Amino acid sequence: MQEQTIPDRLKISPFLIFYVIMAMQIGLGALDYQRIIAKDAGYDAWISIVFAGTCLHIIVWMIYKIAKIVNGDIVTAHMYVAGNLIGKVLSFPFIFYFLLHSLASLRTLFEILQVWIFPTLNLFWFSLGYMLLSMYVVFGGLRTVVGIAFFSLVLPAFLVFTFFPNLLYSNFESLLPIFDHSVKDLIKGSFHMSLPFIGFEVVLFLYPFIKESQKSEKWAHLGLLATTFLYTILAILTFAFFSEGQLQKVMWPTLMMWKIFKLSFVERFEFIGIAFWNLIILPNVCISIWIGSRLVKRIFKIRQKKGVYLLIIAQLGMITFIHTREEINLLNSLMAKVGFAFTMLYIPLLFIAVYIVKKVKKK
């Protein structure tokens, strides 16, 4: 088995994993998860978020165990389990996974831009501009990509405070009674949290690039905890702000909550929020493209640059074909299902497989 050696100057500090995970998680699904989970679990859905977040800690623990045993990323793990060739074949679909991830993030962002600000926005040209920007970031290497992830979290962090004026217009009694829904409904709600929660699995791909990799585990858990906390708070604020029947009519609850917030220099705050949302989506796209191209490089042994071109062209080609609301919904629900299957089903399976192989190899 080949051991990849990555020079220290290309590696990132362990604590940066915190930002990578949060930046990758927040983006897809973060604008409308409240509506989707409340459909099944009603206003008890915040329990679903806490439950889903707790489950994911186990998955993160598994990811670190896998990575430690094989001392490498998911491709190494596949090769460790199934040999060189089959290992590569198994890793191949993940290129599409990340392509889908960036495609879904980008298309959802564009939909908001089209609905809110520019109804006549030309998809192709705007995505070309966005792609050139992300290409520029990705060519800077992983360290630049992670830097973008850092800034995309820190710069828009003030947005959290803009939800607090809503407290004046909120009614927290609508959250009562707690536990009004069956366990089945709550678990359904947790399942729908998979779209906003996916993204933490990038650790399994970035592992070889982290300095003193095992030290980053606590940061990964912290990142996940922070996201869970943020999502729960935001969900509770949303549930108090909208009534249950109204929430189902609100397309993007997170954005709609800004409608009530008014500053003396800007009548409607959503426009600032949406502008910052561009920045929040950027690391989603950049990290996805970087990992996708990295996988291309590892599997086909071609230069990573070519992989980047390939992914960007594929993305530009596909994005122009997604027009209607239904298609975007389909894309998002597909991403949610694939993400759920990968994180909650495939990673535990891989974990078991790696463990068995380790036992066998020892003998």
User: Where does this chain bind other proteins (CB under 8 A)?
Assistant: 115-116, 118-122, 125-126, 128-129, 132, 169, 171, 173-174, 176-177, 179-180, 241-246, 249-251, 256, 259-260, 262, 267-268, 270
Count of CB atoms situated within 10 Å of the CB of 287 = 29
Q: Would you call 12 helix, strand, or coil by DSSP?
A: strand
CB closer to other proteins out of 170 and 213: 170
- The answer to whether 342 and 96 have CB atoms below 8 angstroms apart is no
Task: Say whether 252 sits in a helix, a strand or coil.
Answer: coil
The residue (of 121 and 314) whose beta carbon lies closer to other proteins is 121
Q: Is 71 left (phi over 0), alpha (psi -120 to 50) or beta?
A: left
Closest separation in Å from C-beta 309 to other proteins? 14
Separation CA 297–CA 303 (nearest Å): 6
In the bound complex, what is the minimum distance in angstroms from residue 115's beta carbon to other proteins?
Answer: 6
Q: How far is the CB of 329 from other proteins (least distance, A)?
A: 16
Rounded Cα distance, 239 and 23, in Å: 24
Identify the bridge partners of residue 210 per DSSP, sorted by sequence position. 12
C-beta closer to other proteins: residue 244 or 327: 244
Q: What letter does residue 211 receive in the DSSP assignment? A: T
Read off the tokens for 324.
Answer: 């209607």
Q: What is the C-alpha end-to-end distance of the chain, expressed in Å?
A: 18
160 versus 178: smaller Cβ distance to other proteins? 178
Cβ proximity to other proteins: between 139 and 229 the closer is: 139
Shortest Å, Cβ 319 to other proteins: 15
Rounded alpha-carbon distances, angstroms, from residue 252 to 10, 115, 334: 39, 11, 19
Cβ 229 to other proteins shortest distance, Å: 25
Residues in contact with 338: Cβ distance below 8 Å, sequence separation at least 6, in sequence order: 97, 100
Residue (42 or 348) nearer to other proteins, CB: 42
Residue 293 beta carbon to other proteins: minimum distance, rounded to whole angstroms: 19
In the complex with other proteins, which residue's Cβ is closer, 251 or 356?
251
Shortest distance (Å) from residue 87 CB to other proteins: 37
Contact 139, 291 (CB under 8 A): no
